[in-house]
Amino acid sequence: MKIRDIFENKRPVLSFEVFPPKREAGFESVRKTVQELSKLPVDYMSVTYGAGGSTSKTTVEVAEEIQKSGVPALAHLTCISSTKNEVQTQVEKLKECGVENILALRGDYPNIEGFVPPNEYRYASELIEDIKKTGDFCVGAACYPECHPDCDNLANDIEHLKIKQDCGADFLVTQMFFDNEAFYNFRNKAVQKGVTIPITTGIMPLTNAGQIEKMCILSGGASMPAKFTRMIGKYQDSPEALKQAGIAYAVDQIIDLLSNDVRGVHIYTMNKPDVAEKIVGVINYLF
C-alpha cells in the first residue's frame, strides 16, 4: 500500500521507525521487534539506511519483514555516497520485495578515511526525481523544523524543501524535535511557501541517559525546552524514573500535536517495542 493513500484516507496517521541490525547476527532480534510493533495499531513502519549504504542488504531484508507482518514498509535510501547504478539496484531490490514506499534522503558522507564520493548526487531532490521516474513508488522526504545544520537559515531551507515537493515528494517526515512551538512555526512558514503535502512529526521518546548524547547528535541540535532539560537533570541517575518520565514527555508532546491537527506522528522507536506499546497504550483512541 502506498503511504500517500494512507494520508488521504486517515487522519492522524501513526508510524514507527526501526533500524536494521549492525551485524547479521542481530537480525533475529530486529525481526522480533518488527513482529511486536506490528501488533500495535500502526499505519506504516520505516527502516533506516546506514551511512554510505552500509546496511543496503539488511534494510531490504527488514523492509521485507515489515511487509510480511502486514504493515506497509517505508525503506529509507540515501544518495550522496552512491552512484546512480547503485541507487537503481537498491530500488529494484525493494520493488522485488513488494516495497512501495521510499524515504529519499541525501545522507551524509560516511566517516571512513580515504572515502572518495562519486559525486553523482548532490541533493535529495535529485534522488526523488530519479525514483519518481520509475513510476512505481510513493516517495517521502525529510524536513527540519529547526533548519538543517548545513543551511544558513530556515527560510532558505524551506525553499529547498519546496523543491523536494516540486520534484515529486508525496509526504514529509520531520527530524525529531522536543519543542512543539518550533514545529508550529516551521509548519506555518512551510505552508506560506506553498508546501502542501502532509507533514508527519518525528517524536523520539527519551528512555535512558545514554541516549541523550546520541539524541543531540542525531537531531542536529534540536532545541530542548527548559521543561525537558529539567526532567533529564532530575531523573538521569534513576533509569526507571527517567524512562517513565521520557515516555510521559513524549505522550504529552503527541497529545499537543494531535490537538493542533498534525497529519501524523512518527515514533523513533529505537527498536524498543515496549516503549512504543506504552505510548500507544495511553493514547490509542487519539489515532
Ligand X SMILES: Cc1cc2nc3c(=O)[nH]c(=O)nc-3n(C[C@H](O)[C@H](O)[C@H](O)COP(=O)(O)OP(=O)(O)OC[C@H]3O[C@@H](n4cnc5c(N)ncnc54)[C@H](O)[C@@H]3O)c2cc1C
| Min separation Cβ 52 and ligand X, Å | 8
The smaller minimum CB distance to ligand X, of residues 121 and 235, is found at 121
Q: What single-letter amino acid sits at 238?
A: S
- Choices 24-32, 99-107, 130-138, 228-236; region in contact with ligand X by CB under 6 A: 99-107
Q: Is 106 near ligand X (CB under 6 A)?
A: yes
* Residue 214 backbone phi and psi in degrees, to 5: -60, -40
State yes or no: is 240 an active-site residue.
no
- Choices 43-51, 129-137, 228-236, 244-252; region in contact with ligand X by CB under 6 A: 43-51
C-alpha distances out from residue 58 to 21, 26, 78, 93, 108, Å: 7, 10, 14, 11, 19
Alpha-helical runs (H) found in the chain: 3-9, 27-38, 56-68, 84-96, 124-134, 154-166, 180-192, 211-218, 226-235, 239-259, 273-283
Q: What single-letter amino acid sits at 109?
A: Y
Q: Is 150 near ligand X (CB under 6 A)?
A: yes
Q: Is 168 near ligand X (CB under 6 A)?
A: no
Q: Is 166 near ligand X (CB under 6 A)?
A: no
Q: Which of 63, 73, 105, 138 touches ligand X by CB under 6 A?
A: 105
Whether residue 12 is preceded by a cis peptide bond, meaning omega within 30 degrees of 0, is yes
Active-site residue (options: 8, 17, 100, 126): 17
Q: Which of 2, 88, 136, 163 touches ligand X by CB under 6 A?
A: 163
Dihedral of the CA atoms 71, 30, 128, 95 (nearest 10)? -60
| Min separation Cβ 143 and ligand X, Å | 7
- Say if residues 193 and 256 touch (Cβ distance below 8 Å): no
DSSP for 67-98 reads HHTTS-EEEEEE-TTS-HHHHHHHHHHHHHTT
What is the pattern of x (binds ligand X, CB under 6 A) and - over residues 196-235? ------x---------------------------------
| Min separation Cβ 153 and ligand X, Å | 9
The smaller minimum CB distance to ligand X, of residues 169 and 251, is found at 169
The smaller minimum CB distance to ligand X, of residues 164 and 243, is found at 164
Say how far apart CA 212 and CA 53 lie, in whole Å.
26
Please name which of 190, 181, 185 lies closest in space to residue 156, comparing C-alpha atoms.
190
Q: Is 78 near ligand X (CB under 6 A)?
A: yes
Q: Which of 28, 108, 166, 181 touches ligand X by CB under 6 A?
A: 108
The smaller minimum CB distance to ligand X, of residues 142 and 231, is found at 142
Dihedral of the CA atoms 178, 78, 51, 263 (nearest 10)? 20
Please name which of 262, 208, 212, 215 lies closest in space to residue 237, comparing C-alpha atoms.
208
Q: Which of 1, 2, 51, 86 touches ligand X by CB under 6 A?
A: 51
- Choices 6-14, 104-112, 203-211, 275-283; region in contact with ligand X by CB under 6 A: 104-112
Supply the angle between the helices 239-259 and 180-192 in degrees, to the nearest 10. 30
**Residues binding ligand X (CB under 6 A):** 48-49, 51, 76, 78, 105-108, 123-125, 142, 148, 150-151, 157, 160, 163-164, 173, 175, 202
Residues involved in catalysis: 17
